[in-house]
Amino acid sequence: MIAGSIAGMVEHMAMFPVDTIKTHMQAIGSCPIKSVSISHAFRSIIKTEGTAGLYRGIAAMGLGAGPAHAVYFSVYETCKKRFSGNNPNNSLAHAASGVCATVASDAVFTPMDMVKQRLQLGNNTVYRGVWDCVKRVFREEGIGAFYASYRTTVLMNAPFTAVHFATYEAAKKGLAEISPDSANDESLIVHATAGAVAGALAAVITTPLDVVKTQLQCQVSYLCYWF
């Protein structure tokens, strides 16, 4: 749980500016302008709010990512031991464990992910911060707003984690077979390479549902002013 929590916070917070740009590109589809490029989204954020605009909502990410990833990795490791039995290379067990992990962790992360995305898309005149966003959404839209995208998030993350962990474990095994002397299970280069391959493949498959999730969590038309 500790390792997963630290890993999740470092991962999400290090990549937060990229996530902000992604969120803007996904949300713009509900506006009169149907699509923008990465550079267009980046310039719009910098022009409107400066560099700080790339980090709006990072506190919500930190609050949500730590507990969610603690749940995620602890459930994954527990299920992997239970499902794989005496076969550590059972890809089906790895995929099933990933699905169980995401169902549990998404229940923890989805409310703060919604807050994070609304802060990313709104300037300081919309929400003053994390707790202001939480209070206003709860008062104006009810608790259901925090989980408006939960089913879509699970539908997205379940195949994502199934593909991710199955590919990750298979890539680690393959790298070890290619170079057994330099690639052991604890090697940083093995984890980094296998993780990159697995993440890229899983993202290609699930990005369409990620767009749906973003628009469900940010159902507000005033966000079009950004572009």
Percentage of the chain surpassing pLDDT 70? 86
Under the banding of pLDDT at 50, 70 and 90, the label for residue 135 is very high
pLDDT computed for residue 227 by the predictor: 45
6/194 Cα distance (integer angstroms): 19
Amino acid making up residue 99? V
- The answer, yes or no, to whether residue 225 has pLDDT greater than 50, is no
Q: Is there a contact between 126 and 104 (Cβ–Cβ < 8 Å)? A: no
**Would the pTM of this model clear 0.75, i.e. be above it?**
no
- Taking CA 162 as the corner, what is the angle to CA 66 and CA 91, rounded to the nearest 5 degrees? 120
The two three-digit tokens of residue 1, written as one number: 């749980």
Mean of the per-residue pLDDT values of the chain = 81
100/80 Cα distance (integer angstroms): 10
**Is residue 189 classed exposed, middle or buried when 0-12, 13-18 and 19+ CB atoms within 10 A define those classes?**
exposed
Dihedral (CA of 94, 63, 130, 41) sign: negative
For the ranges 43-52, 105-114, 183-192, the one whose mean pLDDT is highest: 105-114
24/47 Cα distance (integer angstroms): 14
